Amino acid sequence: MDRLRMYIGGAWTDSSSNEVITTINPATIEALATFPRGNKDDVDRAVKAARAAFESKEWREILPAERGRLLLRLCQLIRQQKDELAHLETLDTGKPLSQAQADVEVAARYCEYYAGVADKILGETIPIRADILNYTLREPLGVTAHIVPWNYPIQIAVRSLAPAVAAGNTVVMKPAEDTPMTALRIAELCERAGFPPGVVNIVTGYGAEAGAALASHPDIDHITFTGSVETGKTIMKTAAAQIKPVTLELGGKSPNIVFADADLDEAAHWVVRSITQNAGQTCSAGSRLLVEESIREEFVEKVTALMAGLRIGPGLDNADLGPIISEKQLERIESYMQVAAAEGATIRTGGRRHAEAGDGFFFQPTVIDGIAAEGRLAQEEIFGPVLVVLPFTTTEEALAIANGTEYGLVTGIWTSNIHKAHWLASRVKSGQVFINNYGAGGGVEMTFGGYRKSGFGREKGLEALKFYTQVKNVAVKVNG
Ligand code: NAD
């Protein structure tokens, strides 16, 4: 079994305690590799390395275009190793190989996209009066901390690394303890791409240990976190104590709102896809189906048949659904089936583990009907392939249900009536709205982020750059 090392200051290293954690394949429960159990000392070493790199003449004076070229080389290396990276991601997360391949390509696209903007991060001139030249500079923040979850390890790692580096920051990243493998491989590729030592550092380890040490380190300048609301709150409190800016992406309970006048086959396909991609372990999963009462039975039957027909199995077999990431997460999903029983809900399909697919943590695609919009099943993020059905009769009622959770990440609207679609799009409380599609192919270019408890700050697209820069205003007296 491989003993992986973490990457600090351009060197591959064990943790100062020499302790390791084992990562497993959730499809087979077999051990894949060990990796360092990073601790406070290791985080401190990494932050020091990132600070030294940030302050170095080499990095401060690097041409913006050269930062772009580094990212472009990283993009090329990711593409060259795409098969191996996807294979690793599938082993570590369990996700179907085709989804891992798509994730790797998205990671490459982040590098390509932000490579192109590294030398286009512009300030403004602001007219004040004739003898003052007033301009703004968009400067990097400094050392940025990145805490990454286990559901899209390579995608989410590069999603924040690329804009941070494009804007001239340095990076300390902590991957999730369940899925460290591709982030470490990205560090290797950064090294090969010629990133100066200390610009990108990866510290592996547990959240409460390495993650907490990173979030509370006094010498970081920003924290990007993707994960649970509870951990998000902890991180925000820690950041508040030191007045550190944070970007939080905390998941959701996103609705697909399906009207009777929609293309129902197309809608059903995407409703199923949006809740089963990555076995439902997706922050933007379409986990609530809001369906117009007049087509409820017909549509729910269509969706149920599609869900029941999905193939479940190890990611390497490229089934439709891989396993859940861990026993802990599987048990959490199962606990919601007890809630369903207590709430008197009807399980239309699924609702249990799928031992037939092997020893791993498999769960069946599940459709739950007959629940209350205020109940836990309709309100809480289950983070598994579990779709709940909520009928509505009027557009106003659909809006009220759509906005009726604490979250607000994504909304899908399915209708052929453009007026209804726009009316809803302007009133739903969510960071992204998709009309007659869902996800639009990953959307590296699209602004992404939450309303309400789904978080704040924005990832992806040009908007993300605002969160990895700070603006300085300079006023010059010009004597004529
Ligand atoms: P989590 O929020 O605890 O973990 C996410 C990341 O944060 C991991 O890297 C973890 O090591 C780190 N972390 C944990 N505690 C920390 C702390 N105190 N300080 C700093 N970093 C810390 O999530 P989880 O326990 O793995 O999953 C629980 C639930 O979170 C899921 O069921 C799901 O609802 C949600 N989740 C959401 C996303 C998303 O994409 N929005 C991703 C993963 C999990």
The counts of H helices and E strands in the chain are: 16, 20
Comparing 2-250+456-474 with 255-443, is the CATH topology the same? no
Phi-psi region of 450 (alpha: psi -120 to 50; beta: other; left: phi over 0): beta
Cα gap 74→154, rounded to integer Å: 13
148, pLDDT greater than 70: yes
Strands 6-8 and 346-349: unpaired
Q: Tell me how far the alpha carbon of residue 227 lies from the centroid of ligand 1, in angstroms.
A: 4
164, pLDDT greater than 90: yes
Tell me, using a 6 A CB cutoff, whether residue 153 lines ligand 1. Answer: no
| Active-site choice (190, 209, 283, 459) | 283
Mean pLDDT of all residues in 158-176: 98
- Determine the residue of 150, 225, 228, 246 to mutate for testing ligand 1's pocket, defined as the one with the most ligand atoms within 8 A of the Cβ atom: 228
128, pLDDT greater than 90: yes
- Each residue's pLDDT tens digit, 224-277: 999 999 999 999 999 999 999 999 999 899 999 999 999 999 999 999 999 999
Report CA dihedral (272, 273, 274, 279) to the nearest 10 degrees: 100
DSSP bridge pairs for 349: 367
* Domain residue ranges of the chain, discontinuous segments joined by +: 2-250+456-474, 255-443
Supply the pLDDT for residue 183: 98
1, pLDDT greater than 90: no
- Give me Rg for the CA atoms of the chain: 23
pLDDT band of residue 479 (cuts 50, 70, 90) is confident
CATH class of 255-443: alpha beta
Supply the pLDDT for residue 440: 74
Fold of 2-250+456-474: Aldehyde Dehydrogenase; Chain A, domain 1 (3.40.605)
Mean pLDDT of all residues in 77-86: 98
| Active-site choice (89, 112, 209, 249) | 249
Tell me, using a 6 A CB cutoff, whether residue 381 lines ligand 1. Answer: yes
278, pLDDT greater than 70: yes
Q: Are 344 and 376 in contact (CB under 8 A)?
A: no
Q: Whose CA is nearest to atom 16 of ligand 1?
A: 207
Tell me, using a 6 A CB cutoff, whether residue 38 lines ligand 1. Answer: no
- Each residue's pLDDT tens digit, 404-450: 999 999 999 999 999 999 999 999 999 999 999 998 767 899 999 99
- Each residue's pLDDT tens digit, 287-339: 999 999 999 999 999 999 999 999 999 999 999 999 999 999 999 999 999 99
Supply the pLDDT for residue 151: 98
Query: For this structure, is 283 an active site residue?
Result: yes
Cα gap 23→32, rounded to integer Å: 6
